Amino acid sequence: MAIERTVEIADARLHYEVRGEGPVLVVLGSPMDARPFLPVAEALADDYTVVTADPRGINRSRLNDPEQDSPPDVRADDVAAILSDLGAASADMFGSSGGATTGLAVVARHPGLLRTLVAHEPPLMALLPNAAEHFKAADENVAVFHREGLGAAWMRFMVNIGVDPGAGPPQLGEPSEQDIADGAYFFGHVLQGTVTYEPDIEALKRGRTRVIVGVGASTAADGMITDATSKALAERLGIGTTEFPGGHGGFMEQPGEFAEVLKSVLAAG
């Protein structure tokens, strides 16, 4: 059973949940809130004190100024604030998608806070040869959001990252008011800062944190751009990638199998 907690910081009220016992493991995404991680968090809770959270500006993590942007460096400071509130001097972290980008920023900004970071498919467009094209696509995506609305922006975003918007499962009902608000915050204040983030490779190399770059087993076949960005990061760090079950959302698709692989990766450190 999860314990829900909040921590007040200067510009926000951050919501996080704690479940299980053992070494502290932060499980985080962006822009998704804690809910998609519930199954894998439950599967990990027998071995870890699992911390999940809503990123700033998303769902239950409320900003004093709703128009404030949410770049990875600021989200990294939020992770440090949550761990401080929990009384954890150090932790392991699994970050997926924008959450992986957040984790990379934690390693650079808070040396030694993380023992191991598993960065699962960070969308680091800055590491690609055609980075400028991806930056422009993100700018255009935001413009579409403001001009044509959230539905059109999501369709364009999926195409940009390599997803066929007609190939996925049908939507289960209409999006809630919270879904709409979270999507609007993503396009208005999260997307550009996340897409253009360039990790501090030298800080990642010299730091005490063990960095693992995770890639989904089906991500390349799925056509997702995060296969290329993950491999580009691993190459810059001089390491290989570690395969996880499923694709970009493997932690949702196969939570039990995904948790077992994650536990083995963490134990290897």
pLDDT, tens only, 12-24 = 999 999 999 999 9
Round to whole Å and give the CA distance between 121 and 139.
Answer: 21
Residue 26's contacts (CB-CB under 8 Å, 6 or more residues apart) are: 51, 52, 53, 79, 82, 83, 91, 92, 93, 94, 95
Position 156 scores a pLDDT of 95
In degrees, rounded to 5, the angle at the alpha carbon of residue 29 between the alpha carbons of residues 35 and 47 is 70
Q: Is the per-residue pLDDT at 70 higher than 90?
A: yes
In degrees, rounded to 5, the angle at the alpha carbon of residue 227 between the alpha carbons of residues 120 and 133 is 115
Instruction: Determine the average pLDDT of the residues in 34-45.
Output: 97
Position 1 scores a pLDDT of 81
Round to whole Å and give the CA distance between 256 and 44.
Answer: 9
Count of CA atoms in the C-beta half-sphere (13 A) of 130: 8
Instruction: Determine the average pLDDT of the residues in 48-62.
Output: 98
The reported pTM is 0.95
* Helices 131-148, 150-160: crossing angle, 10 deg rounding: 160
Per-residue pLDDT reduced to its tens digit, 167-203: 544 444 678 999 999 999 999 999 999 999 999 999 9
DSSP-based three-state secondary structure for 148: helix
Stretch (H or E) spanning 63? strand 62-63
Count of CA atoms in the C-beta half-sphere (13 A) of 193: 20
Per-residue pLDDT reduced to its tens digit, 80-94: 999 999 999 999 999
Instruction: Determine the average pLDDT of the residues in 113-141.
Output: 98
Round to whole Å and give the CA distance between 5 and 3.
Answer: 6
Position 165 scores a pLDDT of 62
Position 172 scores a pLDDT of 47
Round to whole Å and give the CA distance between 225 and 206.
Answer: 28
Q: Is the per-residue pLDDT at 223 higher than 80?
A: yes
Position 166 scores a pLDDT of 59
Per-residue pLDDT reduced to its tens digit, 135-155: 999 999 999 999 999 999 999
Q: Would you put residue 213 in left (φ > 0), alpha (ψ -120 to 50) or beta? A: beta
Position 163 scores a pLDDT of 79
Confidence of residue 228 (pLDDT cuts 50, 70, 90): very high
Round to whole Å and give the CA distance between 21 and 83.
Answer: 15
Residue 195's contacts (CB-CB under 8 Å, 6 or more residues apart) are: 123, 125, 126, 134, 135, 138
Round to whole Å and give the CA distance between 213 and 233.
Answer: 8
Position 173 scores a pLDDT of 61
Cβ 32 vs Cβ 6: under 8 Å: no
**Average pLDDT value over all residues in the chain:** 95
Position 168 scores a pLDDT of 46
Instruction: Determine the average pLDDT of the residues in 234-248.
Output: 98
